[in-house]
Chains A and B, each alone.
Chain A
Amino acid sequence: MPLTHSTEETADGIVILKLAGTLDAMTAAELTPTINRLVEEKRMKIVVDLQGLDLIDSSGVAAIVALYKRTRSSGGRVTVTGARDQPLAIFKLLRMDRVFAL
């Protein structure tokens, strides 16, 4: 299954990063340019919307953790919303559900 992703910005400057499909060792690299751009633009509030995400693996989690850490180091905040089924189970297993305010 492929990964599809898109970003949109709300009126009050929150960036919504929508991910759908599979975020894994194959597809995580597709997200790198977007993550780099958001970090370079010093976005302060990023919401990662996983409503459409069916599957994540450790590489996919690492990509979101990288976005979280890099944004935090410039004073911003990343939250994750909409995780369900397998992705939600993996975040809980890694005890990241609280970090990302799931």
Chain B
Amino acid sequence: MAMDQRPVIRLSLPAELRFRDVAMRAVAEACRLVGRPRTAEGSFTGSAASTTQRLDLSDRFAAEMVSAVSEIFNNIAIHGYGGSGAGEIAMEMTVAPDHLAIQISDHGTAFDPSQVPDPELDSLPEGGMGIHIAKACVDELDYTPGPPNVWRMIKFRKQARRSRPASHPL
């Protein structure tokens, strides 16, 4: 395998909140693969999955990525499919050495981001916080209405490259 190999993990889930934990565990496992040491051929050693039984979110990268995905999953299950439980949510996770790219698609009612203004945090909102959380937890988040509606998000494990431009040598 080549050094720049990017394993792709695909998952299709019923669009029901009760399946969200399955999505979150898959995301947490994919997060653990980002930056994991690889062999000279570019493959991982040992099992690709961790052995912990609990959903371990002590790693900040995984905690933020899982937070973003869970908000998007909620949004699709509750609003896109109206909580009906009919329909599917498809996820595709591409594991790069320094980042994780996740694409989430559905065939539910398209979402209109312009209908969800940024929450006024100082007034302690009780709603409208989901997309705000998702946006803040990843480096890139974009949405294309469909069908299928597609959310794309990217999160880098190292943020240093954003705060230290190449034109600014140390």
Contacts and interface: CB of A to CB of B under 8 A. Distances in A.
Contacts of A54: 54-55, 57
Interface residues of B, number: 32
Nearest to A88: B63
A24 B126 contact: no
Contacts of B117: none
A62 B127 contact: yes
A93 to B, nearest CB: 5
A68 B124 CA distance: 9
B26 to A, nearest CB: 15
Given A89-B63, A89-B67, A58 B130 contact: yes
Contacts of B23: none
Interface in A35-89: 54-55, 57-59, 61-62, 65-66, 68-69, 85-86, 89
Contact of B74 (A1, A25, A69): A25
Contacts of A24: 20, 70, 74
Contacts of A94: 119, 121, 129, 132-133
B60 interface: yes
B74 A93 contact: no
B136 interface: yes
Contacts of A95: 121-122
B71 interface: yes
A65 B126 CA distance: 6
A86 B67 contact: yes
B57 A58 contact: no
B100 interface: no
Given A89-B64, A96-B124, A25 B129 contact: no
Interface residues of A, number: 24
A26 B64 contact: no
A69 B60 CA distance: 30
A65 B133 contact: no
B18 A26 contact: yes
Nearest to A69: B124
Residue in A1, A54, A86 whose Cβ sees the most chain B Cβ within 10 Å: A86
A36 to B, nearest CB: 15
Interface of A: 1, 24-26, 54-55, 57-59, 61-62, 65-66, 68-69, 85-86, 89-90, 93-96, 99
16 contacts: A1-B21, A25-B17, A25-B20, A25-B78, A55-B24, A57-B133, A58-B130, A58-B132, A62-B126, A65-B124, A68-B124, A69-B124, A89-B64, A94-B121, A94-B132, A96-B121
